[in-house]
């Protein structure tokens, strides 16, 4: 199997102290760095995604204009070019082959909704490299990790979610997301750094 690693949204705004920080986010950043240093050779392709939202709009209703409902509308986060949109400093991206930006004026939860610097989508990049399996790590288990893994399954990939290297918004919704992914055909693996 030719594999890719998806590192989902390990950004300052999604880690402790950020606009939408989750508990364990900084530990995920450090854990992914350690994991990648020991497992880089297993992956034909390593891809990291980032929310990269416009600062001058509500991004298609993604940014709340009043009180956020934390389902479809959110506080302002990961605005392009701001410190909140940058990768967490504990995440070493030197082993990353491709950087995907998602959002950019519209709601986007999945890595499949973004593009690289050349405007190519992840499905095209996976096909180019003959990737048949994807391991998924990052933030947040119950939102962007969930949707990216579901979309990878939809694209015919063998998907593993490495539970020691994800962090979610809430324990209940994270457990539900992992159960949903398992039911959909993903392997839920307790891999850690």
DSSP string for residues in 102-146: EETTS---SGGG-B-TTS--HHHHHHHHT--EEEEEEE-IIIIIH
Query: The tokens 């959909």 sit on which residue?
Result: 184
Whole-angstrom distance, CA of residue 12 vs CA of residue 191 = 23
Is there a contact between 145 and 163 (Cβ–Cβ < 8 Å)? Answer: no
Catalytic residue among 135, 142, 144, 151: 144
Catalytic position from the list 9, 51, 135, 142: 9
3 is catalytic: no
Report the C-alpha gap between 61 and 72 in whole angstroms: 8
Contact 139, 166 (CB under 8 A): yes
Among the options 102, 135, 142, 151, which is catalytic? Answer: 102
- Residues assigned a catalytic role: 9, 102, 144
């Amino acid at each position: 199997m030719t594999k890719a690693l998806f590192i989902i949204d390990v950004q300052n705004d999604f880690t402790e102290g950020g606009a939408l920080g989750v508990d364990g986010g900084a530990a995920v950043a450090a854990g992914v760095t350690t994991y990648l240093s020991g497992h880089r050779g297993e992956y034909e392709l390593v891809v990291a995604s980032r929310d990269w939202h416009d600062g001058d709009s509500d991004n298609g209703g993604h940014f709340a204009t009043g009180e956020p409902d934390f389902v479809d509308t959110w506080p302002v986060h990961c605005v392009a070019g701001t410190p909140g949109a940058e990768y967490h400093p504990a995440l070493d991206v030197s082993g990353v082959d491709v950087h995907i930006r998602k959002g950019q004026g519209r709601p986007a939860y999945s890595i499949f909704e973004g593009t690289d610097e050349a405007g190519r989508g992840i499905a095209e990049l996976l096909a180019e490299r003959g990737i048949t399996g994807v391991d998924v790590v990052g933030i947040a288990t119950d939102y962007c990790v969930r949707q990216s893994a579901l979309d990878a399954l939809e694209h015919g990939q063998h998907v593993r979610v490495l539970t020691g290297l994800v962090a979610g918004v809430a324990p209940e919704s994270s457990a539900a997301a992992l159960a949903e992914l398992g039911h959909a055909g993903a392997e839920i693996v307790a891999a850690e750094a």
